Amino acid sequence: MAGIESRWRHGVTRRKALRGLAGFLAGSPLLRAQQDPFRDHSRIPAMEELADVFDFEAVAYEKLPRQAYDYTGHGTESEFSLRRNREAFDWVKLVPRAVADVSAIDPSTEVLGVKMPYPIMIAPTAAHAQLHPDGEAAMYQAATAASNTLFLMSHNASLPFDKIAAASTGPLWFQLYARERLEDNLPFLDTVQTAGYRAVAITIDQNASVYERQQHNRHFSAPGGPGGRGRRRGRPEPANPYRVIPGRLWYNWAFVEKLRPHLKVPLLAKGVMTAADAKVAVETGFEGIIVSNHGGRAMDQGTSTLEVLPEIVDAVGARVPVLIDSGFRRGTDILKALALGAKAVGIGRAVRWGLGSYGAPGAQRVLEILQGELVLAMAHTGRPTLKSIDRTLVRTDFR
């Protein structure tokens, strides 16, 4: 009996056994395999800790599903156009005035009847519900809270257009992917005009929308989009041999003449990248130009929007306002575009990072950071108003 009691007293207790098992499991490669090795599993910072727009991307990467992050973050094919959009800002240098009265900075402007406290707007991007349950309604609330920022709503929104319009009170425009049959466009136009959208922008820069390889389908297309596991059931394969989706291959300028009588609001062309197209757009009846390469998601091996901006501004003169998007992340980026002739700048990925990170307050904070950075850049360069900003502010070395 004494031997049994001794073994009981000095043997492994249940507590020690469980502690040892827990230690084994904690160090097991089987458990480590359940973690994403590409993510940092450290603490998510509070929004107040983030210093600039780029910080929001890291938080969005941690908090969003991989598919949602990839859809936002990546570009088409080799991503040359995506990278060039950012690289172009390094080819434009700011030249400050040595002495200027910048005691009061006024960055306000007006575009097609919309008064803007800052020359900053939200560019159209699709499927905000993959970033936040309230989708575009949350983004619209963020835009209004951030000094009534203009929101250009995507045709591929997650929510009904009238429901989005009812979510807040700021200025709204609508981005249209035109349908070949005129009557197929009218329900969209009737809905948004009745709901109070104050302009329509037709996208013309993504005629041949396709992601050829399965990897691209998986990472670069939205849920339910072309190819990959998100493909809608029963969707037929494109009839042409290159698997290019035929829905937009019919685009032509004459279509605008048919569409115009059904619009009571200004019409803009989004996706203009050459002076020649800008001239035709104005002659066709467009009342505004948006210089855009779809954020590097439409065509690979293209130019950046910033480097083609001056020639487009020169081509249209003062006849219509020229706006721009694709690649903007800093207040100095915005200032450079203004110096090269843009009337306002659209922000796409950056506000998506904000929405995906912290919801509407996150998107609002991204806009406020950009607004503050722009004001600071104007003060540093001695340009107190937008009228004082011209090409003497910059030196360009586009490559």
CA distance 127 to 8: 64
CA distance 66 to 55: 18
**368 CB neighbour count, 10 Å cutoff:** 17
Longest dimension (CA), the chain: 106
Q: What's the distance, CA 362 to chain centroid?
A: 14
286 burial class (0-12, 13-18, 19+ CB within 10 angstroms)?
buried
Q: Is 10 a catalytic residue?
A: no
Letter string b/e over residues 54-88, b meaning 16 or more CB atoms within 10 A of that residue's CB = ebbbebbbbbbeebbbebbbebbbeebbbebbbeb
Cβ atoms of 81 and 75 within 8 Å: the answer is yes
159's tokens: 């929510």
Q: Which of 128, 132, 155, 294 is catalytic?
A: 294
33's tokens: 């395999």
**3-class DSSP state of 126:** coil
Residues marked as catalytic:
294
